[in-house]
Each structure stands twice: as C-alpha cells, then as structure tokens.
C-alpha cells in the first residue's frame, strides 16, 4: 500500500513540478522576476510542494514496502 501511495505522490509531484516550471517561462512571471529578483509566491510554492511530493514518493517507494517480521 505504501508503494502505491509513493507512486501517486511521484506522479502528482512531477505534474506539479512541470506545471510550475512551465509557468516560470511565462511573460508575466519573467516580468515579476526581473523586477523583484524572484518568482511569484504561487510558483515558488508549487515548485517546493512538487519537489517535496517527488522526494516523499521516492522514499515511500524505496522504504515503504518492507515488511518487518
């Protein structure tokens, strides 16, 4: 069960990361980044959450399926 949740987290995190990465190339995002030196809060949040989901999913896949006897 933990591995299934891990795969779901990896897929959802990847989708979120790709979406946020594509948003960084938009005209409005580039303008905000030029003026402030950073991306918008929403883009930063999506990048962090996506990365966290992928990392957590990988850990669940790697460690979550082990049964203790």
Report the alpha-carbon distance of residue 44 to residue 49 in Å, rounded.
Answer: 9
Using 50, 70 and 90 to split pLDDT, how confident is the model at 6? very high
Tokens representing 8 are: 């779901």
| pTM for the full predicted model | 0.81
Using 50, 70 and 90 to split pLDDT, how confident is the model at 14? very high
Average pLDDT over residues 22-31: 90
Q: How far is CA 47 from the centre of its chain?
A: 5
Is the confidence at residue 46, as pLDDT, over 70?
A: yes
Average pLDDT over residues 36-63: 93
Higher pLDDT, 29 or 49: 49
Among 29, 7, 6, CA closest to 19: 29
28 three-class SS = helix
């Amino acid at each position: 069960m933990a591995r299934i949740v891990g795969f779901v987290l990896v897929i959802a995190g990847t989708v979120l990361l790709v979406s946020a990465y594509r948003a960084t190339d938009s005209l409005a995002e580039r303008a905000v980044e030029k003026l402030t030196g950073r991306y918008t809060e929403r883009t930063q949040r999506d990048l962090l959450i996506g990365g966290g989901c992928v990392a957590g999913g990988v850990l669940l896949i790697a460690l979550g399926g082990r049964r203790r006897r």
